[in-house]
Amino acid sequence: MGCCGDARRSPWGQLLTLGLIAFCCPGIFNALIGMAGGIDDPDVSNLANSLLYACLAAGSLVAPVWCNRIGPRATLSLGTFGYAMYPTMLFCYSREIVSSDIVVIAACINGLGAAFVWTAQGQLCLAYPTKGVKGKYFSYFWLLYNSGGVGGGIVGFLSNYHSDTATEASMAYFIIILSLMLCGLLLSFTLYAPEDVLRTDGTMVVNVPLGSLWEEIKTMASLLTRKRILLLIPMFMYSSWVYSYQYGVYNAGMFNSRTQGWNTAWFWFAEMIGAYAMGRLLDAHTLGTLRERATYSLMIIFCMFNLTWFLALRILTGDKIDKYGEREPALDFKDYAILGPFWTYMAWGLTDILVNSWIYWVLGQFSDDLTQLSRYIGVLKASQGCGAGIAWALGHTPALTQIGVNWGLFLFASGCAWIVATQELRERNDTFDLLTDAENMPLLPKMKKNPSNNRRSRGNLDDGNSERLYFFEQNAWPPMSRARTTEDPYFL
């Protein structure tokens, strides 16, 4: 029991648990969305998905505040409950049990739940590893998460296999989806609190003592004024904007139901490959500094996405495809004509994950502080929800217009991300990031310069806040008395 408990309490053990939760909830959900919700009504599907992501965007701005107050474990449990609502109502709607209004309400609940899940997940996935292995940790999490999309796609393919014309998912498919999501809810209760987890280098997971609720809200809002975050927001939005075209137009419009499941499985399998490769690349210190690795990986992303959008444009201008991207007759996985469209869709899976891996890795380089990471993830998910919500709302525009918008947004986001990679990243000390980067200490006490030596003095801390500095002194490893010197300009 002791050995098993120690393994589960380790960063790797907690990563495995998080990955299984992601497999059962967001991963399976991705497979469902990849089949346009499993219903044969694009109007309802587009409206529900648009509002889902709008709620994700709004919820992500307050989820970090909530997560920092009650902890990531409780936040994750609340969020996973929301995931079970949406597929249940989609199934009921497909059987004409409930109206489209109920589906929309369930989608909104799912969006709020997703905000809680991704805030807690991002906080823990970025806080547990040390900076030198953040890419590897994230890639392994993404392997588990994307295996949910693979599994869901296989289920969709097999459960609809005997229907080569239907565009609506079977009852068996919905039952399996819902059962797996409920398993994710149960798994969320098995996570350990972050303060019970010790990193592989012996350091503790730092959780800054919080100020008032209003102070926390102001700190969250202040992130939106920082250059590095403002420059990353276009890439945040693009990383989820693309799914509207890929899922709702390309996969749902060109292929029949069973082939949509086939494509979905391979799409997420390609994401697994991309996640592993990008994680290794970003942590490959032999390739150079942080900036060099960030720029090399960004150049790969730039080339591959331009290639996939060029291929999508060529396919759209082919025969039997109308201006909204729908093909008549829909392609089946046994058709020879599927080869080009299938490989393009799989290439999208490979490139999509490169962007997400790069984003998480960059955010992980900005901080190791548990509370600050939740705020970063909150802005990320709010931006992603906003982008996806707008994209799904534009689902009825001509496919050529959607390709142009996606391609243009990517080019603009790449330019902004390049500035971050070349100007905002720097080599940092794994142990003392919290003490040397003022952006990661929004809740730390204000300090006044000591007139005797022109350096900061602990004796001049604002009243009532000295216990926060004491917290850092007690949790630094190696101890501050041995690691810091009087030559440091921030010596305390």
CB atoms within 10 A of CB 426: 10
Element containing residue 449 per DSSP (H, E): strand 449-450
In whole angstroms, give the CA distance from residue 144 to residue 155: 17
Contact residues for 489 (Cβ-Cβ < 8 A; gap 6+): 455
Indicate if the pLDDT at residue 486 is higher than 50.
Answer: no
- pLDDT for 307: 94
Kindly tell me the burial class for residue 445, based on how many C-beta atoms sit within 10 Å of its own C-beta (0-12, 13-18, 19 or more).
Answer: middle
Quickly state the pLDDT bin for 347 (edges 50, 70, 90): very high
Judged by DSSP in three states, 164 sits in coil
pLDDT at 408: 94
Distance CA 447, CA 468 (A): 12
**In the chain, pLDDT over 70 holds for what percent of residues?**
76
Q: 71-75, 300-304, 473-477: which has the highest mean pLDDT?
A: 300-304
User: What's the distance, Cα to Cα, between the start and end of the chain in Å?
Assistant: 43
CA-to-CA distance for 438 and 487, rounded, in angstroms?
19
pLDDT at 427 over 50: yes
Could you write out the DSSP letters of every residue in 144-188? Answer: HHHHHHHHHHHHHHHHTTT-SS--S--HHHHHHHHHHHHHHHHHH
Query: Considering just the CA atoms, what is the radius of gyration of the chain in Å?
Result: 23
Query: What pLDDT sits at residue 196?
Result: 77
**Nearest by Cα to 180 from 203, 147, 137, 212:** 147
163: confidence class by pLDDT, cuts 50, 70, 90: low
Cα distances (angstroms) measured from residue 210 to each of 75, 192, 199, 378: 17, 20, 22, 17
pLDDT above 60: residue 442? no
Q: In this predicted structure, what is the pLDDT of residue 304?
A: 93
Tokens of 43: 């109007």
pLDDT tens digits, one per residue of 200-235: 766 666 655 555 666 767 777 788 888 899 999 999
Reported as a single tens digit per residue, the pLDDT across 361-392 is 898 888 777 778 778 888 888 898 888 888 88
* Position with higher pLDDT, 415 vs 435: 415
Distance between CA atoms of residues 254 and 440, nearest Å: 47
Q: Above 90 in pLDDT, residue 301?
A: yes
The pair phi, psi for residue 445, each rounded to 5°, is -65, 150
Q: What single-letter DSSP state applies at residue 165? A: S
Q: Tell me: the pLDDT tens digits for 316-326?
A: 887 667 666 67
pLDDT band at 311 (very low <50, low <70, confident <90, very high): very high
- Length of the chain counted residue by residue: 492
Cα gap 254→149, rounded to integer Å: 20
Spatial contact of 122 and 130, defined as CB atoms under 8 Å apart: no
Among the ranges given (103-107, 165-169, 362-366), the one the predictor scored with the smallest mean pLDDT: 165-169
pLDDT digits (tens, 9 = 90+) for 223-276: 888 889 999 999 999 998 998 888 888 888 888 877 888 888 899 899 889 988
**Given a cut of 80, is residue 198 above it in pLDDT?**
no
| Of 191 and 174, the one with more pLDDT | 191
**Structure confidence at residue 420 (pLDDT):** 92
Reported as a pLDDT band with limits 50, 70 and 90, residue 474 is: very low
State pTM to two decimals: 0.72
Among residues 457, 295, 429, 410, the alpha carbon closest in space to that of 368 is found at 429
Question: Residues 158, 159, 165, 167: is their CA dihedral positive or negative?
Answer: negative
